[in-house]
Structure 1
Amino acid sequence: MSRRNKTRKVLIGLAAAALAGGAFAVSTGMSSAGESCAGLDTALQNNLTFIADQKANPDALSDARIANRQAVVDLINQRRATAGCTGDVVAQPPAVAQPPAVAQPPAVAQPPAVAQPPAVAQPPAATKPATQAPAEEEQAGEKGDVVCKGSTVTLSGEAGAPAASSGTFPIGTTLRVTNLDNNKSITVKVATPSGSCVLLNDAAFEQVRESGKFLIRRAVIERVG
């Protein structure tokens, strides 16, 4: 093989490697530039804590939730490796169950009150037509298609303007997430892929979470666009 042909093959090989690296960055939506190890470590710990909690308190949907969240853990670990994060991240210990309250003795019965003379009857007030309370899945406002019933929502650890990531819906899909524990909701677009139905980035999760909590257990997820 001539030296010229050998040089040409080396250049072609380097070009192919660069093209493959660029394709990987596009397909994952990530790069090492701008990654925050603190944010990635927080997201990893939250997901590990969620998995540990599901294992400690399993129900009929725990296996599916654990599988989805493990996919998120794998993705975050890839990003931590790319960003050069070396911290040792472990799950937070599950909350210790509180002992049942001690039953109180029954209250002593009070003597019957002296009967009062009947009050003068007042004319009935005009009644207003009752309004039906909205169902839990419609409390977020304009009704959308409710999706991923029974799913919980946590944060992805990504920075930036309010947005979501999803392994169920394509990038550009508009989703509304409602926290039924405080009746707060937010409408965001899917910006990146993940292994869950929906994960909220830091800015979006901060608008709907309860103080001190990093998981929305009673969530309604709607596809609105």
Structure 2
Amino acid sequence: MKVQRKHVLAAGVAAVATAVVAVGTGFGFADTAPARPSLCSGPVTFSAEGGTPAATSDRFPVGTRLRVTNLDNGMVTTVSVSGPSGSCVLLNAAAMELVREPGKNVIRRNVVERVGVDAPAAPAPGETRPGAAQPPVTLRPVPSSTGAVVQPGGVCSGSVTFSAEGGKPAATSDRFPVGTRLRVTNLDNGKVATVSVSGPSGSCVLLNAAAMELLREPGKNVIRRNLVELVR
């Protein structure tokens, strides 16, 4: 009888423990689900592009469907890639409104996933595909008017946009290491800014707020016609 009573008590404790774990998970106290891998690294930001929710990308072809999740508020949007840009995923204004927190122009904690089994995967690091942004090429450096040495030719393709990051003018990048100096020219107004890369992002070059203020035209959050050069 004592042995049977011990078995009954053990079974009861196990059942209660299972129920506690289940309830805890349902209320957010426990989370055993594995973290989802993201196809893009770094923050997600947006351009001033109008129209229905959509995105542009430097590695996914037109028509690829991407699901973007803001991990800070749980909001999700599914968009189709409508063209090229200088970012892994650059949302347009309508798509950003569906997922961002009020007053924020960048989504730092995010997950970007492909939708549909036929959608192409993102290229592996160092891999390039037709139509994708190409890595910087090695060209003969030339001196600039300020005495700095500039690699001729643009090293990024697509639009240049910005994050809400504060501080002095700087940029983040998915292909240049910290400390790399980049000269960005807005070809629409001739304004130029030289910035240092301060960390990683999902773009070839993503300016912070101070750097963007040096270059952009009033009311515009994206620089479509630009030249990004490597400064030695």
Quick check: TM above 0.5?
Answer: no
- Which structure carries more strand by proportion? 2
- Which structure carries more helix by proportion? 1
Q: Structure 2-normalised TM-score?
A: 0.43
Structure number with larger C-alpha Rg: 1
Q: Structure 1-normalised TM-score?
A: 0.44
